[in-house]
Every structure is written in structure tokens, then in C-alpha cells.
Amino acid sequence: MTRKLHIKTYGCQMNVYDSARMADVLAPLGYVAAETADDADMVILNTCHIREKAAEKVFSELGRLRALQNRKARRGGRMILAVAGCVAQAEGAEILARAPHVDIVLGPQTYHRLPEMVAAATRAAGGVLDTEFPAEAKFDFLPEASATRSAAALLTIQEGCDKFCTFCVVPYTRGAEFSRPAADVIAEARRLIGHGAREITLLGQNVNAYHGAAPDGGDWGLAQLIRALADLPGLERIRYMTSHPRDMDAALIAVHRDVAALMPLLHLPVQSGSDRMLAAMNRGHTVADYRRTVEALRQARADLAFSSDFIVGYPGESEADFQATLDLMQGVGFAQAYSFKYSPRPGTPAASEPDQVPEPIKSERLARLQELLQSQQRAFNLSLVGSVQRVLLERPGRHPGQLAGRSPFLQPVHAWLDAGLVGAIVPLRIVGVEPNSLAGEALVEAAERISA
Ligand code: 5AD
Ligand code: SF4
């Protein structure tokens, strides 16, 4: 008997990966992915708690789902409703109290127990709550990734974080840092490649702190893991995110020099360009340290481009601190970046700081920062016009006859190409810059146009 499973994913790539794993765990029970929640037999909200009123968004979505759940019940069916992810971890009991129509609340460390929870929820009235940090690692209990056919695949190699940046909930919701054994990572990579992956992005909340058990005893850092993965036949591209500047060691920098498959865009969050703010945030490095790291990476690989995360309006941030962030941004030059207004997260040290920055100032700073960012991003995109970029074609484009993919720098690129090329890496001439993507052209077409 097949049942319809709808999973709605919020937040980071690690949640995207986890959602796929939850679908894998439920597949043996007959659950098959459904595009919408309408008429689904099970709906999972895989939530994110990193910023903003995440919990409120979840409650309003749960309200909407109750109507669908009731409709299904009136027709004699049942819709099991589960809340997973970091909001579940942080507010588990409160969710069951406020939304009694929720059947299951589970934290990110207990996905492998989903089948039991579904069974319990089916039997029982009242919700099932499992937000433990169990002694067993969930990765040992998850079935082998079913590897939905995708040319660009995600692979979680590390979870949790021990850094305790003062603004961040991750150390509380995802728990202590944990690295998967290298042999498990390599086995999963082989399976993904066998299912057509040409690119793998290694994921972790603090991925460059990776230190997994090595196949031959001892530990491997991320550098050694990447070198081993680069030897796998068929794997052409490797990426990793998200990194902490403090864990960017010499061995990892050298990998950017030596491993051509490692793509030339590095996401290296800095958060602020003010030493005072970096210290208050417990980031453990200075602006000069960050700049030195960027410099060393550029020495290692000249075409390396940078991406980052920025927070504006952290408690106590002055106009001068903010200006220092703009200066850092000017100095480094980013190909892209994510920027956020500081959002107090319950239970984190920064949330109880007395000198919170007023909302209008945060908004104004964010707008100024994003203006500079956009101009840098646009300049970077324009600098590629006329160049040839190898594009991994991942899917059909927005218009019939188009394909869409990613450049080495992770920019979306679209081009008029034969649908048979999905999954291939094709050199394309970059011929235009659009707000959210680049336009590419097959080299023969470009050559014909020039000679005509
Ligand atoms: N407020 C604003 N931004 C935050 N981030 C993490 N916690 C907060 C917060 N409380 C941002 C950081 C981090 C990214 C994933 O989210 O920039 O790097
Ligand atoms: Fe959060 Fe990243 Fe800091 Fe860890 S290193 S506490 S995940 S911001």
C-alpha cells in the first residue's frame, strides 16, 4: 500500500539533506513523496530556528494544516502531522501543548526512529515527542541514502557545533560537534556517484572542524577527506559549507591549491568587520586574522571567490563598528553573501544583552550593507561575461528548450541546450548577466554568431 508523504523544508542545506533522509526512512513503510500537503497521509515540517519568529511561522503553518487534516478525517482518512528540525528541538513540549493536532515532534538527532514514532502515533491518541540526543549516532541507523537522481548532491559529514557564538542557537539545537567516519562518507559518496552525481557538497554546521575516524585508524581532517574524495572516479566537483574562519588550517588551504575538483567559491562567514563585535560574539578571531586567511587562500588559488554571512545590529554595535564591516567588505570583495539583522534567539547569551540595537537602525544598516553587497556581486558576475565557464547542467530551465545549472562559482546559469545534456558538465560562453542568473551559450553557437 502506498501512502503520500509531503515534507516542507525550511532553512539550511542540512535540513534539505535531512528531509531526504526522512523520506528514505519512511519509504519501507510505503510512503512516497507528494508535491503538496493536500490529501497527504503524512506531512512533516522540517523547521529552522536560526533567525526570526521561526516558531510563530511553524504555528501558523500548523493552523493551515489542521484544516487539511480535518478534511481528510471527514473522508475517513488520517493525516499524520510531524514537526521536525530545530524548532522541534527547541520547543518540543510547547508545540504539543499549543497544537494538539500534531502527532509527532522529533529533533534532528532522532530521524532514524521515525518508523517507531509513526507506529506509536498510529496506535496512540496524543502526540509522540522525541527530542533526545541519543547515545547512538543516527547515521549508523539511517538506511543507505536512496540518492534521488541529482547531478549535484548533498552529503552531511558533520553535525552540531562547539563554537558557541553568542548569537547562535545551533550548539543548543544540534548539540555537540560530531563527525561521521571517513569510510562512511566515502561509501555514501560512491553511492551518490553511482546514481549520477557529478558534484557533491559536503555539509556541516561547522564543516571545516571535521575530524572523522580515518579508514586506517586515527583521524582525518576535512583536508584529507577531500583529497580522498577527489580520487573517486566520476566525481568532478567538490564543495563544502559552512566553515568557521578559525578552522581554516594550512592543510585545508593547501587543498584549495592542489585539488582541481574543489570548486573556487568558498563560503567563509565573518559576521562583522569590527574586532569589538567579533570578540563580543565569541568568534575567536580578529579582522586581521580573517584577512590573512583570505590572503593565504588567494595565494593558494588565484581564482578563488568568497561568500560570507554578515550580521548587522548585534547588541552594542555602533555606527563605527558597522562602518568597519563595510570596510572589510570593500577590502575583501565578495562574489556573494548572506546578510541578516541580528535576531535575539531565546536561550543564547546575546539575547539578554542590555544594549539591543533598535529595529529601524538595524534595517537601515542592512539596506546599506546589501547595497554594497549587490554592487560587488554584480561586478563579479559582469567580470565573467565573455569568459567560458564549465556549467553542471542540473535541470530543465524556466522556459521550454532551456537547461539550468551552476557555474564553478555557484552562479545559476541558463542556456538553450538539448535536454539530453542534463547531468553533463558543459563549457558555456557567458553572454549576459540577469538579476539572479547568468545567460550562457554553447560554444558552437557563440562561434557561429561571431563568424556570421
Ligand atoms: N541573528 C541573525 N543572524 C544569525 N545567524 C545565526 N544566528 C543569528 C541570529 N541570532 C546567521 C549567521 C550565520 C548564519 C547561518 O545565520 O550569519 O552564519
Ligand atoms: Fe552557530 Fe556557526 Fe557559531 Fe557554530 S560557528 S555557534 S553554527 S554561527
The string of pLDDT tens digits covering residues 281-310 is 999 999 999 999 999 999 999 999 999 999
Say yes or no: CB of residue 165 within 6 Å of ligand 2. Answer: yes
What is the whole-number distance in angstroms between the Cα of residue 164 and the centre of ligand 2?
6
Per-residue pLDDT reduced to its tens digit, 108-130: 888 888 988 998 888 766 677 77
Ligand 1: which of 278, 309, 325, 348 to mutate, judged by most atoms within 8 Å of the beta carbon?
309
Name residue 282's amino acid: N
Ligand 2: which of 86, 159, 166, 170 to mutate, judged by most atoms within 8 Å of the beta carbon?
170
Name residue 243's amino acid: S
Predicted local distance difference test score (pLDDT) of residue 215: 92
Q: Looking at per-residue confidence, does 248 or 452 come out higher?
A: 248
Question: Cell 567579533 maps to which residue?
Answer: 278
Asked whether 218 and 195 are in contact (CB, 8 A), the reply is no
Predicted local distance difference test score (pLDDT) of residue 346: 86
Predicted local distance difference test score (pLDDT) of residue 52: 74
In ligand 1, which atom is closest to the CA atom of 309? 17
What is the whole-number distance in angstroms between the Cα of residue 317 and the centre of ligand 2?
19
- Cα(170)–Cα(50) distance, rounded to whole angstroms? 7
All residues at 6 or more sequence positions from 311 whose CB lies less than 8 Å from its CB, including other chains = 167, 271, 272, 281, 339, 340, 341, 342
- Helix, strand, coil tally for the chain in percent (to 5): 40, 25, 35
Per-residue pLDDT reduced to its tens digit, 374-398: 999 999 999 999 999 999 999 999 9
Among 2-16, 198-212, 263-277, where is mean pLDDT lowest?
Answer: 2-16
Per-residue pLDDT reduced to its tens digit, 219-275: 999 999 999 999 999 999 999 999 999 999 999 999 999 999 999 999 999 999 999
Residue nearest (by alpha carbon) to ligand 1 atom 7: 168
The model carries a pTM of: 0.90
- Cα(345)–Cα(71) distance, rounded to whole angstroms? 36
Neighbouring C-alpha atoms within 13 Å toward the C-beta of 2: 6
Grid coordinates given for 9: 523544508
Which ligand is closest in space to the CA of residue 173?
A: 2
All residues at 6 or more sequence positions from 115 whose CB lies less than 8 Å from its CB, including other chains = 25, 26, 28, 29
Measured CA to CA in angstroms, residue 204 lies from 68, 194, 211, 247 at distances of 35, 23, 12, 13
Nearest to 103 by CA among 136, 71, 80, 135: 80
